[in-house]
Structure 1
Amino acid sequence: MVRMKDRDVDLTPPEEVASVAEKGLALRRKYKRGGTNVGVARARDLKGRKSLSPQTIKRMVNFFDRQEIHKQDRNFGNEDDPSPEYVGWLLWGGDPGREWAERKKAELFAPPARH
């Protein structure tokens, strides 16, 4: 839980995000491709449902913005022969991770509520 000026923000990844990261780790082990050391570390934190920092949330959003283009690649989403980019995407929590990080970033960096 991170205390912002006027609110608390829970930065614990939800189960669905943890599950996708775990799948990314499994595919990386099986096919020996995809992701970087940073992506593997992120997947381990997500899988373990460790509370993340606001800076990490920003990094997640930036990662997904940069990697969106690869969703068009051949074998992106193919579980039987996954592209390295697909494995990397999953390591960061996949689509659920992206949606969650974007929501959290909005919560964290939204202007304070007016009363």
Structure 2
Amino acid sequence: MSDDTFKPTQKMAANAKKGLELRAKFHRGGTEVGVHRAEQIAKQAELGQEDVKSMHSYFARHAVDKEGKAHEWGSDEDPSAGYIAWLLWGGEEGKAWADRHASKLAR
């Protein structure tokens, strides 16, 4: 296995920081795993292949969270737990980044 690393983008870091702030304010969204991932992304720490695969899997499993009716997706005033969790993992930019890198790893 290769020891390739992948650096999160600034936009992913901003999303992760926002997710951490919303989670602290509203006391919902994300697991300890999501919080750990957000801390890594917020610092723009190098992530490994398993991290990229984990992120890709997270986004694939949680796209349905956008359809939730409790609270609001995308709101800063009453954000849904799913939206906060999504931000913890890098938000839309994180999804695109993980999808892009995961497809390269699958080759």
TM over 0.5, shorter chain? yes
**RMSD between superposed Cα atoms in Å:** 1.6
Q: Distance in 1 between matches of 2:31 and 2:45?
A: 19
Secondary structure of the corresponding residue to residue 47 of structure 2:
coil
Distance 1:108 1:63 in 2: 16
**Identical amino acids, percent of aligned pairs:** 38
Q: CA deviation at 1:109?
A: 2.6
Q: Which has the larger radius of gyration?
A: 1
Q: Give the Cα–Cα distance (whole angstroms) in 1 for the partners of residues 24 and 62 of structure 2.
A: 21
The alignment covers a number of residue pairs equal to 105
Q: Distance in 2 between matches of 1:101 and 1:72?
A: 21
Structure-to-structure mapping, 1:63-78, within 5 angstroms: 63-74=58-69, 75-78=72-75
Partner of 2:106: 109
CA distance in 1, matches of 2:102, 2:46: 14
TM-score by length of 1: 0.85
Q: CA deviation at 1:32?
A: 1.0
Runs of 4 or more, structure 1, over 4 Å off, are none
Name structure 2 gaps, 5 residues minimum. none
* Partners of 2:79 and 2:6 in 1: CA distance: 29
Which consecutive residues of structure 1, in runs of 5 or more, have no partner in the other structure? 111-115
